Chains A and B, each alone.
Chain A
Amino acid sequence: MSKLVEVKNLCVDYITFNGRVRAVSDVSFHINQGEILGLAGESGCGKSTIAYSLMRLHRPPALISEGSIEFEGRDVLAMDDDQLREFRWKETSMVFQSAMNCLNPVKTIEYQFWDIFDAHGLVSSRDESIEKAKELLRIVDIPTERLFDYPHQFSGGMRQRVVIAMALALKPKLLIMDEPTTALDVVVQREILQKVYQLKEQFGFSILFITHDLSLMVELCDRIGIMYSGKLVELAPAKQILSQPLHPYAHGLGDSFPTLHGELQEMKGIPGTPLDLQNVPPGCRFAPRCFKATAACREQEPQLQQANEQRWVACVDPLKIASQTQQPEPLTQSHSEPSETTCVEAL
Chain B
Amino acid sequence: MKFILSRLGFYLLAFVTAVTINFFLPRMMPGDPIKSFLGRLAMNGGQITPETISALEALYGYSTSTPLWQQFFQYLGSVLAGDWGMSTRFFQPVFEVLGRGMLWTLLLVGTYLIVSYTLTTLLGIYVAWKRGTWTDSVITVGSVVVSSIPSVVMALVMYFIFASNLGWFPTSYAYHPSLDPAFSGEFIGSVAYHLVLPLLCMVALGMGNVMGMRSNMINQLGEDFIVMGWAKGVRDRKVMLHYGARNAILPMITSFAMSVGAIFGGSLIIEIIFNYPGLGQVMFQAMLARDYPLIQGYLLIMTMMVLGANFIADCLLFVLDPRLRTQLD
Contact = CB atoms under 8 A, between A and B. Distances in A.
B233 A106 contact: no
Contacts of A104: 225, 229, 242-243, 246-247
Interface string B227-260: 1111111110010001100110010000000000
B323 A105 contact: yes
B320 to A, nearest CB: 7
Given A96-B227, A104-B243, A105-B247, A115 B234 contact: yes
A280 interface: no
Given A96-B228, A101-B224, A102-B225, A107 B233 contact: no
Interface residues of B, number: 24
A268 interface: no
B227 A152 contact: no
A98 B233 contact: no
Contacts of A105: 225, 247, 322-323
B161 to A, nearest CB: 42
A106 B234 contact: no
A89 B231 contact: yes
Interface in A168-218: none
A119 B230 CA distance: 10
Interface string B312-329: 000000001111001000
Contact of B246 (A93, A97, A103, A106): A106
B231 A115 contact: no
Nearest to A101: B224
B96 to A, nearest CB: 45
A102 B233 contact: no
Given A105-B247, A106-B320, A153-B326, A115 B227 contact: no
Contacts of A115: 229, 232, 234, 238, 242
B228 A120 contact: no
A90 interface: yes
B57 interface: no
B235 A119 contact: yes
A119 B235 CA distance: 7
Interface string A106-121: 1110000001100110
A94 to B, nearest CB: 5
Contacts of B326: 150, 152-153
A62 B45 CA distance: 82
Contacts of A98: 224
Contacts of A150: 322-323, 326
Contacts of A66: none
B186 interface: no
B231 A57 contact: yes
Contact of A57 (B132, B223, B230, B243): B230
Nearest to B323: A152
A96 B229 CA distance: 11
B232 A106 contact: no
A79 B321 CA distance: 37
Contacts of A152: 322-323, 326
Nearest to B247: A106
Interface in B291-329: 320-323, 326
Contacts of A88: 230-233
6 contacts: A57-B230, A104-B242, A106-B322, A108-B322, A150-B322, A150-B323
The 10 closest A-B pairs by CB, nearest first: A102-B224, A150-B322, A88-B233, A102-B228, A101-B224, A119-B233, A104-B225, A119-B234, A85-B233, A89-B233
Given A93-B231, A115-B238, A152-B322, 7 more contacts: A89-B231, A89-B232, A94-B231, A98-B224, A104-B229, A108-B322, A150-B326
Interface of B: 132, 223-225, 227-235, 238, 242-243, 246-247, 250, 320-323, 326
